[in-house]
Chain A
Amino acid sequence: MREVVVLGVGMRPFGRFPDLTFEELTYPAISHALEDSGVPFKDIEVAFCGVVNSGLYDSRNVIQQFGWTGIPIHSMAQASGSSAAAFRVAYWTVASGLYDTALIVGYEKMARGFIPSTVMPGRSHLDVMGLDPIPARVALEMRKRLELYDEPIEAHAAYAVQSSENASLNPYAHYPIKRTKEEVLNSVMISDPLRLLMCCPTSDGAAATVITTREKAKSYGASRAITVAGWACGSPQSEDLFGGPGAFIGGDFKGGNLTKRLVKDLYEKTSIGPEDVNVALVHDPFTMAAMVDIEALGFCPEGEGGRWILDGKTRVDGEIPINTDGGLLCKGHPMGPTGVSQVAEVVKQLRGEASNQIPKRPQIGLTHSSGAGMINMLVLKR
């Protein structure tokens, strides 16, 4: 396999853009990524889109607004991990020699409120009986954590505060608003013990990136290329579902089983360990998910995630800074672009160009994306 690098990244701020078309929504993200990479659009050989809710022609229009070059255009839907999955497949095509240069774009416009679990909401007895709301399922797991690990609820507030502080420095964040512990703990109860500010918003947004081979990057005079050092992906195995209610729930809320298995393989493939990771962008649609993630990724012992956060170890100046852009919780979570937005933040951190830069410029970054319980991870190096 050939060495692949990220040459450029671009984003549109996450937020609410009900009046924008998908072309308008994605234009700044794609044009910034192209400009950042130094790659003219005519050199893009293949494009991958990550989006869940899209019309018949949207992915084609999103790409072809920059020119009808005749390249293959693919669209992938994998819930919250759509563009992370698109990135991974794009990486495969470049690393394997099928193409030299690829454009990956995530975009989405979301409805407000609960996200339906299926395309036929109301058909399943789980829907009719009120057993499908994701926040309620998360609340069940959160209660278990609080009891099993004697985890203080203040740890969840501390994580929400940390995320809000990070987002306040991110010009692309949906909610760049600093919150206090009291605001979090007194926010609206969604599903006891889960409160509103412990949940991510639904958002609109777009993110894009350009990847190519290390060799090809030289022709663009790229001095800021970031290496894709490794990847891992997978879906839950039977052991993750035993005792569970079925495919609705992914490994992310079942003790991080899938993440643990995948990251073990990822660390072996890249010859690093958790102690070598200087920045991590993890899937945190709820405060609890961040705790499960940092434990599963090996940054701290199982059950200690909440206390680590309380101790400030995951802050931008901490032992292992996570979600320095505010994470899904405060940057926003438009599903489609979320995965590529994680790549964008890690690339900026490794280049030393992040708006909330880690004081000691990181060497190695990790992205962890989950979509419907299917996980995609990357190790990026400078």
Chain B
Amino acid sequence: MPDNTKRKSLEPTVFRVGETKEEDTLIGSFCAKCGHTYFPPREWCAACFEPGCKEVELSKEGILSSFALVERKQAYCLVEAPYTFGEVRLPEGILIYTTLNVTSDIAASGAVRVHSTIDQDNFEIFQVGQTARLMPVVIKKDDDGADIVAYNFAVSEED
């Protein structure tokens, strides 16, 4: 039976939810004058100090450049601790701070919670240099029952 639950982005200025999950994308901005790409997107270029950066869709795959296990969460954070905090370098040359999962783990979680079953005991599954793919997750539901979706990256156990 098809899942007709409505999906909304947690923050549409940085992450756009598509018609299908495959169309979900991170939003950056690009300065045509000096060639720099930014995430989060910005209107004024930080390098040439001019307005006019244009919105661009960013790559859905990058390289894991660092990661850390967060043992305690802030009160307002919707992600349950422990969770994995990662830094992914995209081909555009920018770094994305993101939550991290393992692909098989997301399937098992039912994709309702961002956090996975990662903890100190299996944390070594992550390695700097792994390929990380955009794998958005549902972070909460709104009052109408729609899924509120946040960006997230996942590494594959096979990588």
| Residues in A lying within 8 Å of B, measured CB to CB | 114, 116, 121-122, 124-133, 136-137, 139-144, 147, 188-194, 238-239, 241-246
Contact = CB atoms under 8 A, between A and B. Distances in A.
A288 to B, nearest CB: 12
11 contacts: A125-B150, A128-B10, A130-B70, A130-B78, A133-B74, A137-B85, A142-B68, A143-B67, A192-B69, A242-B47, A245-B40
A127 B67 contact: no
B112 interface: no
Contacts of A142: 68
Contacts of A126: 97
Nearest to A243: B95
B11 A125 contact: yes
A121 B78 CA distance: 12
A69 B11 CA distance: 52
A31 to B, nearest CB: 39
Contacts of B98: 129, 131
A136 B85 contact: yes
A194 to B, nearest CB: 7
Interface stretch (B16-24, B51-59, B86-94): B86-94
Most chain A beta-carbon neighbours within 10 Å: one of B10, B72, B93, B97: B97
Nearest to A192: B69
A141 B70 CA distance: 14
Interface of B: 10-11, 14-15, 36, 39-40, 46-47, 65-79, 81, 83, 85-87, 89, 93-99, 114, 120, 123, 128, 139, 150-151
Nearest to B152: A129
A259 B42 CA distance: 26
B95 A130 contact: no
Given A127-B74, A147-B128, A238-B47, A140 B68 contact: yes
A130 B70 CA distance: 9
A65 B76 CA distance: 39
Contact of B68 (A125, A128, A193, A239): A193
B65 A129 contact: no
A121 B10 contact: no
Majority DSSP secondary structure for residues of B touching A: loop
7 closest A-B pairs (Cβ-Cβ)?
Answer: A122-B76, A139-B68, A125-B11, A130-B79, A192-B69, A238-B46, A140-B66
A234 to B, nearest CB: 15
A130 B85 contact: yes
B66 A129 contact: no
Contact of A189 (B78, B99, B120, B151): B120
B73 A130 contact: yes
A189 B72 CA distance: 10
Contact of B139 (A129, A188, A191, A238): A129
A114 B81 CA distance: 15
Contacts, number: 116
A129 B73 CA distance: 10
A193 B86 CA distance: 13
Contacts of B89: 243
Contact of B72 (A190, A241, A244): A190
B11 A127 contact: no
Nearest to B46: A238
A130 B74 contact: yes
B74 A136 contact: no
Most chain A beta-carbon neighbours within 10 Å: one of B66, B68, B99: B68
Contacts of B94: 242-243
Nearest to B79: A130
B130 to A, nearest CB: 13
Nearest to B81: A130
Given A242-B47, A244-B95, A133 B66 contact: no
A129 B78 contact: yes
Contacts of A238: 36, 46-47
A116 B74 CA distance: 9
A192 B84 CA distance: 9
Contacts of B39: 245
Contacts of A121: 74, 76
Given A129-B99, A144-B66, A238-B46, A192 B76 contact: no
Contacts of B70: 130, 133, 136, 191
A126 to B, nearest CB: 7
Contact of B93 (A125, A131, A243): A243
Contacts of B81: 130
Contacts of B120: 189, 192
B68 A143 contact: yes
